[in-house]
Amino acid sequence: MIRKKLLIQPIQRACVIPLVFVSFMSYSQSVQAQLPNSIQSTVKNSDFQSFQQPKLPRNGAPTGRRRAGAGRNPECPSSLTRLTALVPGDRGKSFLASTVAEYPTFWFYVPELPQTARSAEFVLHLEDVQNVYRIPLALSGKPGIISITPPPQRQYSLKADQKYHWYFKIYCGDPEKTSDNFYVDGFVERQVLTQALDSQLKAAKLREYIAYSANNIWYDALTNLGQLRQANPQNANINKDWVDLLNAVGLQDFAKEPIVQDYNLEKSD
């Protein structure tokens, strides 16, 4: 697993902030007995019921691009069309999903890349009006899953009950000289952490994804489970639950892919 340091470029000035990834203990066989009845009812086989994939966006919810389309430049590698956002969706379309985190983590599958296509960018907008932050990335070129987490600073926090639009772009060539890029995009909405969900999370202990999934909180379910998978690569139960979660939203093609990069954000005035 490779950890990177990024340069954050907000609207007015750039900052870089340290992000600490927490190590997780191994799976506890006593978790099921400690879960409340509302969560125990979802427990099957490996103590986990997959996220419930919405079939269609509800109430006019926005959609984005879950898988990158073909670029305009014929010299761009065809592998870039496999760039995929790990979010709920339908084929190439991404759906609005929820988080309770102020600083949620975003996950993507990145294909193998040549040296000429390793410059990337992650951008988050509030209601497509205000730019929250812009993160330039240098990719390794290795195929696999990466995660990106914003810096834990107040100016970057997601406000409750507001929709945010994010983009992840990979440039074909030098981004300072070309606008050619392959991209995926989607939407996230932060929900208020309720007392009921908080109680369920405490009961689930390290395996918080059980409670998040039962409450359709996608981003946090995937992040907790992804971190557990990294910390416990040989744990069969966690690996199976990771596969089940991605299968639930039609991302089974990426369930066996390794997690190759976590981006570590640092502040620099």
Q: What is the pLDDT of residues 252-266, one digit of tens each?
A: 999 999 999 998 665
Does the pLDDT value for residue 42 go beyond 50? no
User: Strand locations in 13-162, DSSP E?
Assistant: 63-65, 84-85, 89-90, 93-95, 97-99, 106-110, 119-126, 130-138, 144-148
In this predicted structure, what is the pLDDT of residue 49? 74
Tokens of 185: 């995009």
Q: What is the pLDDT of residues 229-245, one digit of tens each?
A: 999 999 999 999 999 99
Find out whether 83 and 67 touch, Cβ atoms under 8 Å.
Answer: yes
The CATH class that applies to domain 2-24+31-265 reads mainly beta
Find out whether 147 and 185 touch, Cβ atoms under 8 Å.
Answer: no
Does the pLDDT value for residue 124 go beyond 80? yes
Find out whether 113 and 77 touch, Cβ atoms under 8 Å.
Answer: yes
Q: What is the pLDDT of residues 106-121, one digit of tens each?
A: 999 999 999 989 999 9
Whole-angstrom Cα distance, residue 125 to residue 237? 37
Whole-angstrom Cα distance, residue 68 to residue 183? 5
Does the pLDDT value for residue 66 go beyond 50? yes
The pLDDT confidence band at residue 54, using thresholds 50, 70 and 90, is: confident
Query: 149: phi > 0 → left, psi -120 to 50 → alpha, else beta; which?
Result: beta
Rounded to whole angstroms, what are the CA distances from 227 to 13, 105, 207?
A: 31, 11, 10
Does the pLDDT value for residue 33 go beyond 80? no
Query: 242: phi > 0 → left, psi -120 to 50 → alpha, else beta; which?
Result: alpha
Residue type at 167 in one-letter notation: Y
SS3 200: helix
More confident residue, 149 or 13: 149
**Average pLDDT for residues 145-163, to the nearest whole number?**
90
Mean pLDDT of the chain: 81
In this predicted structure, what is the pLDDT of residue 151? 83
Name the percent of the chain lying above pLDDT 90: 58
In this predicted structure, what is the pLDDT of residue 19? 31
Find out whether 116 and 85 touch, Cβ atoms under 8 Å.
Answer: no
Sequence ranges of the domains in the chain: 2-24+31-265
- Of the candidate ranges 29-33, 50-54, 100-104, 197-201, the one whose mean pLDDT is the lowest: 29-33
In this predicted structure, what is the pLDDT of residue 17? 30
Find out whether 89 and 95 touch, Cβ atoms under 8 Å.
Answer: yes
